[in-house]
Structure 1
């Protein structure tokens, strides 16, 4: 059945194609243009692999690399733990909103599909801007950040802490060695997705269980240390859980890092067209994956802070989990096995991010958002994967790995990625609330409680405004002279570049036909 009248979009704008799905006129036009002979991506993602994909996207380098950074920012373990719990609550709000959007639009595309379908004028603008920033900034930056931590932990396992390295050549080029290993990890991650979807999903499932095992080991070991039955000395951090003061800029910067660690809850939405029984499995996979990860995150943070001191956290930064392993398990298992397991976990997160990245390239190419889109969206007849699209994503990711200046590469990448990511996530959830009012009669298999959407919108505004407010010392954390406004400014510039690109690449060429 069709909606007979819409106050915003006019008559018969949305056509019901089943009891719980519909297509928009914009989608219908695209589907008519599809070439029947072209191979299509198949529905290969089930309940187990879908849950593993959600958990795998969320569980990556973030939980192993950002606790030390967040503790340094907040200044006390109690305040830091509150921020991690707040991040969990914000994540649940966002996940619930994206479940409604995914069950309402049970197709691949994620935010691009939702924004194009909800904000229809100017045609394709919001979806194009999201896709532009996602492909040029958010996803390749996230993959590069994961790969950077992968390289750091591999070198930690091979050489030990930086304080014990004596070779001057290695010390002078440590950052570039980490990036070189990161490039190897990115190559492996993209290679798995290029040649077999089934094997890529199998590897992601295996990586996810490894990551959950590592988190479980850290969580249980921390609880054992806290109980006092071991000879591992406890840190004095928890003796003063709320020492010190925290500024609003520090809260904002901490939230960026915490939410980056939680990011991935909406990853299944980008490849929903490949999910079996998508409207049922999206609810189950997102709920299970998000719930499992948030529980382990809280326990992991408590465990890490129960062993290391404030000075050690400030010194180790992203390598806090490696230092924790050395203090708890000793120089062999703790200093080699734990860092290798963490590195493999980061590699798994890199591979998990590649999957939705390539799917957005395919959808954007089919809509005319990318020049020569028919090549990038083509599914390889033998491998059944978007091989050329993955090659394009690989090239952009390598640029992000190599382009940042020496120094705090990881923190800079998180800030560059975080600002546009949460800006557009907030816009998408604003669209969900708006759509409730303009199209109230559409059948929604899942309806989120709207106050959860409002809460997420407030957080998105906070994260969009505060990064431009100057802190007292003109910088946050950075010891390499990077001004506080550089990362959000880069993100805003990329967004602004999207407007003329949209006009010349999409609007002028397609919307005036």
Structure 2
């Protein structure tokens, strides 16, 4: 017995020593180096993607007027800021990697690891592939819009073919080098921001009449600004999903708190600056559409609205250039998402939160990149892209991905409220045991309330809303399967062995 205790103590001591060494190395590698402006740029680059170029018209079509649509974009910015600050506090409380999984482990202790396993399952099986498939699909869509004469029929099929090719190319590009991928991410982020700034600037110039005969203010007049707005809350829920999709990326700075100089002071400044900049640019982009196209074109244009805008302002040549530029911007966003998705999947394997953990944790022997996670994500993304047999495949993919995403945003923010409530100083007090960012509970409360609204009303909407929400819930429920094999079965086997 003495030898056994001594051996266990030695192992614990060794593990503590190794953990301390790893923490020291991580601290040295991730020394604070990001300024407030650089933190804001990180949020901006992580947020801007396809949403602002594809979703404005769909949002107007759902709510029936441009005024409520603009209010939803403003609400999206407020929710993104609140959620970003909530995740910043989680990052201060729990420094482990793995997305929301360690936060959920801290907040929901019973059943042990249940929330973390189901979250990881949903993230790897549905959310990450849904992101990649929708982005590659819309990139393919803008490519076909640039050259409509080459793709005269079955455009949805061609979007999927081109999207699949892009998906495979991006996956292959992630295999050889983490450094190459990192440099590409930096360059493409700058391109995404530049594209949106130019897009918004041109729209402002047109709004002030710089382009002769191109301005059209029909969408902003009394007949369409608030008149005719929908009174169905389910339509607003589906529209808000589209706006929040464009703001997603708000949690990225929280995962880099260790690299932010003076995080307690700069996190709120960086978040206000980053989210504020994105929100202003998004509003300008909407005004660009609303002051160029007719209300009918805006409300029915769908994901093609940016190409229609370019064709109206600059003719066919302009449409080709703008469509290709947006295509490249979306490819950039897709690459960043794919790069992140493979690392999340690999982390779930390392932490034992995913079925077949050794498979997902496996790194390429030559390149030390998560090759199995990349391959799995590629296959799942391609399958999701081809699954919807409809011309509205893009919106189907967004809805099927947004719903489970907001299940976990809501759950994680409610978990923060529980954690703050259990602290020695209560819900509204400042916890002296937490060194770092602490946010007012009003921020996670707002996210939770918005999340509840988003999770209830899609089931009362028309179209594919109930279907996509039901599919998402079904995938979440199947998370009990990996939980059984990863946690319950081993615990029962260990208990039986002891008994």
Question: What residue number does 1:342 align with?
Answer: 326
Question: What residue number does 1:47 align with?
Answer: 34
Q: What is the rounded CA distance, in whole Å, between the counterparts of 2:228 and 2:260 in structure 1? A: 51
2:408 aligns to what SS in structure 1? helix
Question: What residue number does 1:410 align with?
Answer: 394
Does residue 235 of structure 1 match 2:224?
no
User: Greater helix share, 1 or 2?
Assistant: 2
Does residue 96 of structure 1 match 2:85?
yes
Offset from partner CA, 1:176-213 (integer Å, 9 cap, x none): 11111111222233233322222212212221111111
Question: What residue number does 1:223 align with?
Answer: 204
Q: What is the rounded CA distance, in whole Å, between the counterparts of 2:335 and 2:491 in structure 1? A: 34
Contact 1:53 1:268 in 2 (8 A): yes
Q: What residue ranges of structure 1 are gaps of 5+ in the alignment?
A: 1-24, 36-41, 160-164, 477-481
Does residue 151 of structure 1 match 2:136?
no
Question: What residue number does 1:253 align with?
Answer: 238
Displacement of 1:490: 0.5
Q: What is the rounded CA distance, in whole Å, between the counterparts of 1:172 and 1:327 in structure 2? A: 23
Moved more, 407-416 or 234-243: 234-243
Contact 1:103 1:278 in 2 (8 A): no
Q: Aligned runs of 1:345-360 on 2, under 5 Å? A: 345-360=329-344
Question: What residue number does 2:310 align with?
Answer: 325
Q: What is the rounded CA distance, in whole Å, between the counterparts of 1:411 and 1:291 in structure 2? A: 26
Displacement of 1:289: 3.7
Displacement of 1:277: 5.7
Q: What is the rounded CA distance, in whole Å, between the counterparts of 2:32 and 2:162 in structure 1? A: 30
Contact 2:43 2:252 in 1 (8 A): yes
Which of residues 251, 256, 259 is equivalent to 1:266?
Answer: 251
Contact 1:72 1:310 in 2 (8 A): no
Q: What is the rounded CA distance, in whole Å, between the counterparts of 1:226 and 1:468 in structure 2? A: 38
Question: What residue number does 2:427 align with?
Answer: none
Contact 1:115 1:428 in 2 (8 A): yes
Displacement of 1:288: 4.7
Contact 2:132 2:337 in 1 (8 A): yes
Question: What residue number does 1:375 align with?
Answer: 359
Question: What residue number does 2:3 align with?
Answer: none
1:198 aligns to what SS in structure 2? helix
Displacement of 1:243: 1.7
Contact 1:123 1:511 in 2 (8 A): no
Q: What residue ranges of structure 2 are gaps of 5+ in the alignment?
A: 1-11, 23-28, 425-431, 495-499
Which of residues 426, 435, 443 is equivalent to 1:444?
Answer: 435
Q: What is the rounded CA distance, in whole Å, between the counterparts of 2:167 and 2:39 in structure 1? A: 22
Does residue 213 of structure 1 match 2:198?
no
Contact 2:234 2:457 in 1 (8 A): yes
Q: What is the rounded CA distance, in whole Å, between the counterparts of 1:385 and 1:288 in structure 2? A: 34
Displacement of 1:406: 2.5
1:47 aligns to what SS in structure 2? coil
Structure 1 residues 508 and 46: CA distance shift in structure 2, 3 A: farther
Question: What residue number does 2:429 align with?
Answer: none
Which of residues 256, 277, 284 is equivalent to 1:292?
Answer: 277
Q: What is the rounded CA distance, in whole Å, between the counterparts of 2:262 and 2:479 in structure 1? A: 32
Q: What is the rounded CA distance, in whole Å, between the counterparts of 2:178 and 2:453 in structure 1? A: 39
Moved more, 446-455 or 364-373: 364-373
Q: Aligned runs of 1:43-82 on 2, under 5 Å? A: 47=34, 54-82=43-71
Moved more, 81-90 or 301-310: 301-310
Q: What is the rounded CA distance, in whole Å, between the counterparts of 2:260 and 2:202 in structure 1? A: 39
Contact 2:32 2:261 in 1 (8 A): no
Question: What residue number does 1:5 align with?
Answer: none
Structure 1 residues 512 and 363: CA distance shift in structure 2, 3 A: farther
2:478 aligns to what SS in structure 1? helix
Displacement of 1:442: 2.2
Q: What is the rounded CA distance, in whole Å, between the counterparts of 2:219 and 2:201 in structure 1? A: 19
Q: What is the rounded CA distance, in whole Å, between the counterparts of 1:285 and 1:105 in structure 2? A: 20
Question: What residue number does 1:162 align with?
Answer: none
